[in-house]
């Protein structure tokens, strides 16, 4: 069997940026919270944990310090919660995800029924739903085939 290695490997630029921003925040000596895991990689999670970074599911779990939004982004309400608590927020949302969020909101605002392809619980999908709450999430071809015809 021949094993071929990809020329490019490692994390995408969005995850790299999120890890770098989290590490820089940890270097300040302040309490740093990641809103969800930056990346599903045990080595990175261990390294950030060793720097004192805590993983939280909701901003209410952070009483002080910095909250880092991971590359997958969050719904607008989640960002509002961070700001309402008076916590510093570092937005490490990937630029491609930000673009998808803006476009999702634009389509919803124009009256389109937005269809999101993905896993309903995936953080990026949850974030997109915050910009188009009436959107439909489709995970399988069978679900796609059952969608009714829509004008928009």
Please give the positions annotated as active site: 124
Count of CA atoms in the C-beta half-sphere (13 A) of 19: 17
Alpha-carbon gap, residue 23 to 105, rounded angstroms = 31
Strand arrangement, sheet containing 32-35: 54-56, 32-35, 66-69, 88-91
DSSP conformation class of 59: G
Residues 6 or more apart whose CB falls under 8 angstroms from that of 105 comprise: 131, 132
């Amino acid at each position: 069997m021949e094993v071929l290695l990809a020329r490019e490997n490692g994390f995408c630029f969005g995850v790299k940026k999120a890890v770098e921003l989290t590490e820089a925040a940890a270097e300040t000596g302040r309490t740093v919270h990641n809103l969800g895991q930056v990346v599903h990689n045990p080595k990175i999670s261990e390294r950030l944990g060793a720097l004192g970074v805590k993983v939280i599911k909701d901003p209410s779990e952070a009483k002080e310090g910095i909250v880092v939004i991971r590359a997958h982004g969050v719904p607008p309400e989640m960002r509002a919660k961070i700001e309402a608590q008076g916590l510093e927020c570092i937005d490490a949302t990937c630029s491609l995800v930000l673009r998808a969020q803006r476009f999702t909101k634009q389509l919803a605002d124009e009256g389109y029924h937005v269809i999101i392809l993905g896993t309903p619980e995936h953080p990026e999908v949850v974030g997109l739903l915050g910009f188009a709450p009436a959107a439909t999430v489709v995970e399988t071809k069978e679900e796609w085939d059952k969608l009714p015809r829509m004008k928009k």
